Amino acid sequence: MNNIICACGHENPEGTVLCGNCGRPLTKEAKNQKLADMRYEGTARRSQTYNKSIIDKIWNFFSSVKIGITIIVAILVAAAIGTILPQVLYVPATTEADIAAYYERVYGTFGKIYYELGLSDLYGSWWFQTLIGMLGISLIVASLDRFIPLYKSLKKQRTKRHESFMKRQRLYAQGENILGENSLAKSEEKLKELRYKVTREDGALLAEKGRFARWGPYVNHVGLIIFLFGVMLRALPGFYVDETMWIREGETRAIPEAPGFYLESKEFILETYDKATEDEVFGEAIDRVGTIASNYQTDVVLYKKPEEALPGQTDDLKEVKKESIQVNHPLKFEGYSVFQMDFRLDELKTMHFKLSNKASGETLGDLAIDLVNPETSYDVGKGSKVELLGYYPDFSGFENGEPQTKSPVPNNPAFLVKMFTPETPEGETSFVAIKQTVEPLGDNEFKLEFQNVDTRDVSGLTIRKDKTLWILALGGLLFMIGVAQGSYFNHRRIWIHESTEGHLVVAAHTNKNWFGVKKELDQVTEAAQLPPYIDQHDTEGQELKEDGEKSS
Partner 1 sequence: MAQTKQKRFILRTIILSVLVFAIVYTIYNNATKEKVEVLGIGDEAPDFTLVDLNGEEHRLSDYKGQGVFLNFWGTWCKPCAKEMPAMDRQYETFKEQGVQILAVNIAQSDFEVQQFASQYGLDFPIVIDKTKSVMEAYNIDPLPTTLLINPEGKIEQIVRGEMTEQDIAGFMEQIRPE
- Give the footprint of partner 1 on this chain (CB under 8 A): 1, 50, 53, 55-56, 58-59, 95, 124, 126, 129-130, 133-134, 136-137, 140-141, 144, 232, 235-237, 252-257, 259, 262, 310-314, 372-376, 388-391, 393-394, 405-408
Minimum Å gap between C-beta 313 and partner 1 is 5
DSSP string, 97-113: HHHHHHHHHHHHHHHHH
Task: For 26-80, give the DSSP string.
Answer: -SHHHHH-SS---GGGGPPPHHHH---SHHHHHHHHHH-HHHHHHHHHHHHHHHH
- CB 108: neighbour CB atoms within 10 A? 11
SS (H, E, C) 450-470: EEEEEEEEEEEEEEEEECCHH
Nearer to partner 1, 228 or 517 (CB): 228
> Closest approach of Cβ 440 to partner 1, in Å?
16
Q: Which is nearer to partner 1, 96 or 284 (CB)?
A: 96
Element counts in the chain: helices (H) and strands (E): 13, 24
As measured in angstroms, the least distance from the Cβ of 236 to partner 1 is 6
What's the rounded Cα separation, in Å, for the pair 209 and 212? 8
Which of residues 100 and 388 has its CB atom nearest to partner 1 in the complex? 388
**Nearest distance in Å: CB 309, partner 1:** 9
With beta carbons less than 8 A apart as the criterion, state whether 413 and 395 touch.
yes
Q: At what angle do helices 126-155 and 65-81 cross, to 10 degrees?
A: 150
The C-alpha atoms of residue 202 and residue 64 are separated, in whole angstroms, by: 41
DSSP string, 145-161: HHHHHHHHHHHT--SS-
Nearer of residues 42 and 230 to partner 1, judged by Cβ: 230
- In the chain, the largest separation of any two C-alpha atoms, in whole Å, equals 135
- Which strand (E) or helix (H) includes residue 479? helix 469-488
Minimum distance from residue 291 beta carbon to partner 1 (Å): 33
Q: Which is nearer to partner 1, 233 or 484 (CB)?
A: 233
* Cβ-based neighbours of 406, under 8 Å, separated by 6 or more: 394, 396
Q: How far is the CB of 317 from partner 1 (least distance, A)?
A: 9
Q: Which residues on neighbouring strands pair with residue 483, listed in sequence order?
A: none
The nearer residue to partner 1, 9 or 237, going by C-beta atoms, is 237
Nearer of residues 144 and 544 to partner 1, judged by Cβ: 144
As measured in angstroms, the least distance from the Cβ of 201 to partner 1 is 30
Q: Which is nearer to partner 1, 135 or 507 (CB)?
A: 135
**Least distance between partner 1 and beta carbon 227 (Å):** 14
Nearest CB to partner 1, comparing residues 25 and 403: 403
Closer residue to partner 1 in complex, CB, 281/310: 310
Residue 8 Cα distances to 26, 105, 149, 501, angstroms: 11, 75, 20, 21
In the complex, the smallest distance separating the C-beta of residue 487 from partner 1, rounded to whole angstroms, is 28
Q: Which is nearer to partner 1, 166 or 226 (CB)?
A: 226
Cβ closest to partner 1, residue 469 vs residue 480: 469
Give me the least distance between CB of 420 and partner 1, in Å please. 18
Q: Which residues contact 32 (CB under 8 A, 6 or more apart)?
A: none
In the DSSP assignment, the letter for residue 485 is H
Question: Minimal CA–CA distance to 176: which of 546, 504, 512?
Answer: 504
Distance CA 102, CA 91 (A): 8
CB of residue 447 to partner 1, shortest distance in Å: 22
CB of 497 to partner 1, least distance (A): 34
The strands making up 252-254's β-sheet, listed across from edge to edge, are 252-254, 261-272, 293-304, 318-326
Q: Give the amino acid at 254.
A: A
Sorted by sequence, the CB contacts under 8 Å of residue 431 that are 6+ apart come out as: 403, 414, 415, 416, 417, 437, 438, 439, 440
